[in-house]
Amino acid sequence: MEEPNGGAGESRWSKLATTLPVSNVQALAAPTADELTPDTIQRYIQPDIDAHAVFAEHSDDVPVIDLSKLLSPESVEAEAAKLKFACEEWGFFQLVNHGVPDEVIAGVKRDIEKFFQLPLDVKNAYAQRPGDLQGYGQAFVQSNDQKLDWSDMFALYTQPPQARDMSYWPSQPHTFRKYIEEYSSELMKLADSVATFIAKTLDADPELVADKNVVQIFRMNYYPQCSSAPDKVLGFSPHSDGSFLTILLEVNSVQGLQIRRHGAWIPVKPRTDALLVNVGDLLEIMTNGKYKSIEHRVTVNAHKERLSISAFHVPKLDGIISPILGIMEEKVLYKTTNVEEYSRLYMSNKLDGKRALDHAKLSIIY
Ligand code: OGA
Ligand code: NI
């Protein structure tokens, strides 16, 4: 029987996989820390960090999409063409005039910064409990010898409301819950609206995307400064997102995110007037590879910490994703994929580029 309102069964998300506990990186990076021995830092040194060129001169090329132009009948055709180009060629776009009130964005930014400034023992009241992916800690740690990311994260299942485990919702700072709730609701509306325009760019029935963004997971990221080896560690290893759509808020405008394009890395310049939207693996599957879930990574700064909030929008766990037929004359390249299986596979491996997506492909394309 269908559970009411999407189902408390959505709390299954939190138990899809496990991750091994790791040291708190913010504490390791603190100027007073004496724990950061050469042995400790070794666990974070990434051998392949320079394997591909970084093209900073292309930072300004990341497409910009104006939601107000999509919403207006006079400009929708031209803006939808830009959106299509962005999804096909970049997999990422800066969304301006997104309609999320400034007050909500300012509130959530301020409170998340305050949260990460709290003493470790206060934050640890929200630490991930064993076997749970929610809470303050880290994800994707599967072995004691894999390289670690130079970051701490705080994950919350925010939608549908029944999926929430309020024991993880911080009561400090005191307005944090309110802003998480407001920002979460605003992003649900926004994800819906973006998905509807994406359906338009595909000439697909909007009904086909209506149920793709019903679950929302927040991942709040704290990337401490790394004064000892900033060019040798990564805040987030290369990966593509296992979502349908991801919406990223760059909290303090410190640059760090780089996206893969034509074999190189392009640093994304944070914009205070935009939210960064990217195509996730499930949208890539649904479009038979037409829209690309692009690999990305996060570098760290020698002197300044960086904060961001990723909001992953995903279908219900018992949903399925398959390439839309009828819009594509070419051959079907991806299998029909069960959301629960895909998410389990995605969460139970260390991050390794787009490897999870290979499992959804009928033939692996290199
Ligand atoms: C993510 C991610 C990028 C960032 O959370 O999946 O890629 O800039 N975050 O924090
Ligand atoms: Ni990501």
Between CA 148 and CA 100 the distance in angstroms is: 34
CA of 30 to the centre of ligand 2 (A): 25
Residue 32: count other Cβ atoms within 10 Å of its Cβ: 5
Q: Is the pTM of this model over 0.85?
A: yes
pLDDT for 62-76, tens place per residue?
999 999 999 999 999
Q: Higher model confidence: residue 5 or residue 57?
A: 57
Q: Say yes or no: CB of residue 151 within 6 Å of ligand 1.
A: no
Q: What is the pLDDT of residue 3?
A: 43
Question: Among the residues of 243-319, which ranges form H helices?
Answer: 281-286
Is the C-beta atom of 294 inside 6 A of ligand 1? no
pLDDT, greater one: 327 or 155: 155
Which fold, 15-26+63-358?
Answer: Jelly Rolls (2.60.120)
* pLDDT band for position 363 (cuts 50, 70, 90): low
Q: Looking up tokens 């007037």, which residue turns up?
A: 273
Distance separating alpha carbons of residues 150 and 156, to the nearest angstrom = 20
Q: Is the CB of 310 under 6 A from ligand 1?
A: yes
Encoding tokens for residue 47?
Answer: 């051998």
Lookup: tokens for 6:
């999407």
Q: How many CA atoms lie within 13 A of 261 on its CB side?
A: 22
Atom 6 in ligand 1: residue holding the nearest Cα: 241
Quote the radius of gyration of the chain (alpha carbons, Å): 20
Quote the mean pLDDT of the chain.
90
- Is 197's pLDDT higher than 80? yes
Distance CA(268)–CA(266), nearest Å, equals 6
Three-state DSSP at 166 gives helix
Tell me how far apart the alpha carbons of residues 178 and 181 are, in angstroms, rounded to a whole number.
5
- Residue 3 is classified by DSSP as P
Strand order in the sheet with 92-96: 64-66, 92-96, 274-279, 245-250, 306-314, 215-223, 152-159, 135-137
- Lowest-pLDDT range, 53-67, 69-83, 206-220, 340-354? 340-354
Nearest-angstrom CA–CA distance, 115 and 111: 6
* pLDDT given at position 51: 84
Q: Which of 13-27, 52-66, 75-89, 292-306 has the lowest mean pLDDT?
A: 13-27
Q: How far apart are CA 83 and CA 197, in angstroms?
A: 8
> What tokens were used for 161?
């409301």
Residue written as tokens 């994260």?
A: 153
d(CA 275, CA 294): 17
Check pocket membership of 140 for ligand 1, CB cut-off 6 A. no
Mutate to test the pocket of ligand 1, among 187, 278, 308 (most ligand atoms within 8 A of CB): 308
pLDDT tens across 24-65, in order?
999 989 877 776 788 888 989 998 898 899 999 999 999 999
Domain positions in the chain are: 15-26+63-358
Ligand nearest to the CA of 310: 1
For residue 128, pLDDT beyond 80: yes
Which ligand 1 atom is at minimum distance from the Cα of 223? 10
Percent of the chain surpassing pLDDT 90: 69
Q: Coil, strand or helix: which one is 28?
A: helix
DSSP string of 193-231? HHHHHHHHHTT--THHHHTSS-EEEEEEEEE---SS-TT
* CA angle 296–188–357, rounded 5-degree value: 35
User: Is the beta carbon of 308 within 6 A of some atom in ligand 1?
Assistant: yes
Q: Stretch 314-325: mean pLDDT, rounded?
A: 90
Write the pLDDT tens digit of every residue in 235-262. Answer: 999 999 999 999 999 999 999 999 999 9
Q: What is the largest CA-CA distance in the chain?
A: 61
